[in-house]
């Protein structure tokens, strides 16, 4: 915290003559130092090797030429933007939407009053959106968010040098909000991918993108948190543990890179919380890289699936269950299954609503996100060993993991 210091008056007041004498002495000493230093500088060939002729030439150069020779001030953000900025792209997506007529428009009684003024057939409208992306290979492979290009009829990718290319969607994955786009170009600038597992809270974060139509916008902040699960930020259908940052992220930033101080991509900017400030979220680059590899290889991602609806047994949930359903789970720790999807792997394995999952493969479970991670880390067809409590009694079940339906 800064402090304000007040000057204190000296009890001994200097006379005006004394002030002038002291000032003169100071200027004499300063002038002497300048004179001596100047003589040394101009007489020493090591420190000042310019000849009188070259000095004359130097002073005769135009001011603009002299200023251009002075290096511009820089910092690490400037360095990162200069290196990575050309690999960040703008993505325009357009989709045609069929508009449906309200049922009342087809009512003969209603039409007799309005006649030809009512639309006769459903119409169409074109929706357009703008997002960001970044180039990961010189032959035009680009990563972005799935929601940027979801359902698009036409995708256009614009580089920072103004060139625009049609974009081919290689694959999308709505579960992680990831997409891969390809453009027909060569020798493009690319980014360097970092390691999101090594992130530290408080380190620098730099976002580059095209928010609200403002192309090539750069914002800075820090890594505020890691491991934010999807339910915490209001996107419970996503299977991602997000990076939280206070670098400004707005609509249009989606799909753009979140960078560290070395200019490495550590995340993909993807989400904000409405009406909040300083709360932006990015998909960790390690997750994005894994998903991108599958999308490039086969155009889709196969997600493991159990088919349960669940909630963590927090003190608040226990109290609510006791009050609303007369269910006492005060002594239980784990994850409560609140619903089973019909014909799902969970249903076929005998899991029931009301079961409490306490461990998976002998690893203690306390939150729903831990169950989701355990499922996501398996392959379709693998078996998970679940330790449960059913109506107060311990139970073990083996569940074969299935494929998440589209």
- Active-site residues, by number, are 147, 177, 254
> Which of 285, 292, 223, 212 lies closest to 254, judged by CA?
212
Give the angle subtended at the CA of 268 by the CAs of 262 and 274, to the nearest 5°: 120
Give the whole-angstrom CA distance, residue 375 versus residue 383.
10
Q: Where are the alpha helices (DSSP H) in 192-244?
A: none
Q: Where are the alpha helices (DSSP H) in 242-339?
A: 285-298, 315-325
CB 94 within 8 Å of CB 152? yes
- Contacts of 227 by beta carbon, 8 Å cutoff, 6+ apart: 241, 242
DSSP 336-390: EEEEE-TTSHHHHHT--TT-EEEEETTEE--SHHHHHHHHHTS-TT-EEEEEEEE
Distance from the Cα of residue 348 to its chain's centroid: 38
CB 305 within 8 Å of CB 403? yes
Give the angle subtended at the CA of 82 by the CAs of 81 and 85, to the nearest 5°: 60
User: Given 3-state DSSP classes, what are the helix, strand and coil percentages for the chain, each rounded to the nearest 5?
Assistant: 30, 35, 40
CB 388 within 8 Å of CB 357? yes
Written as six digits, the tokens of 328 are: 């006492």
Phi, psi dihedral angles at 137 (to 5 degrees): -145, 150
Give the angle subtended at the CA of 80 by the CAs of 199 and 89, to the nearest 5°: 95
Q: Across-strand partners of 157?
A: 91, 165
Give the whole-angstrom CA distance, residue 346 versus residue 97.
37
Give the whole-angstrom CA distance, residue 164 versus residue 141.
14
Phi-psi region of 343 (alpha: psi -120 to 50; beta: other; left: phi over 0): left
């Amino acid at each position: 915290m800064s402090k304000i210091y007040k000057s204190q008056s000296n009890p001994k007041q200097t006379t005006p003559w004394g002030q002038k004498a002291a000032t003169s002495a100071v200027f004499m000493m300063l002038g002497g130092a300048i004179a001596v230093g100047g003589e040394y500088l101009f007489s020493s060939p090591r420190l000042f090797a310019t000849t009188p002729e070259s000095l004359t030439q130097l002073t005769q150069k135009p001011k603009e030429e002299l200023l251009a020779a002075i290096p511009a001030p820089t910092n690490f953000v400037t360095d990162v933007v200069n290196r990575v900025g050309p690999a960040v792209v703008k993505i325009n997506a357009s989709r045609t939407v069929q508009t449906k007529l309200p049922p009342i428009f087809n009512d003969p009684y209603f039409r007799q009053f309005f006649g030809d003024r009512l639309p006769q057939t459903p119409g169409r409208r074109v929706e357009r959106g703008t997002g960001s992306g970044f180039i990961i290979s010189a032959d035009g492979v680009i990563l972005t968010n799935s929601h940027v290009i979801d359902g698009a009829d036409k995708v256009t990718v614009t580089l920072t040098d103004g060139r625009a290319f049609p974009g081919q969607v290689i694959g999308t994955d709505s579960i992680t909000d990831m997409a891969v786009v390809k453009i027909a170009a060569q020798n493009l600038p690319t980014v360097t991918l970092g390691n999101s597992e090594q992130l530290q809270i408080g380190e620098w974060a730099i976002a580059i993108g095209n928010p609200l139509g403002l192309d090539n916008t750069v914002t800075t902040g820090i890594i505020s948190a890691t491991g934010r699960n999807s339910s915490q930020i209001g996107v419970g259908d996503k299977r991602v543990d997000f990076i939280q940052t206070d670098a400004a992220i707005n609509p249009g930033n989606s799909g753009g890179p979140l960078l560290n101080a070395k200019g490495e991509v550590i995340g993909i900017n993807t989400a904000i919380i409405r009406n909040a400030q300083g709360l932006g979220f990015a998909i960790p680059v390690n997750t994005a890289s894994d998903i991108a590899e599958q999308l490039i290889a086969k155009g889709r991602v196969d997600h493991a699936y159990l088919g349960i609806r669940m909630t963590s047994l927090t003190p608040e949930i226990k109290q609510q269950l006791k009050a609303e359903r007369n269910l006492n789970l005060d002594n239980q720790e784990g994850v409560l299954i609140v619903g089973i999807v019909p014909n799902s792997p969970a249903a076929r394995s005998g899991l029931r609503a009301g079961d409490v999952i306490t461990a998976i493969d002998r690893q203690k479970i306390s939150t729903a996100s831990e169950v989701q991670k355990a499922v996501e880390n398996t392959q379709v067809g693998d078996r998970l060993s679940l330790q449960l409590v059913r109506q107060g009694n311990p139970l073990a079940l083996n569940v074969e993991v299935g494929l998440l339906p589209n």
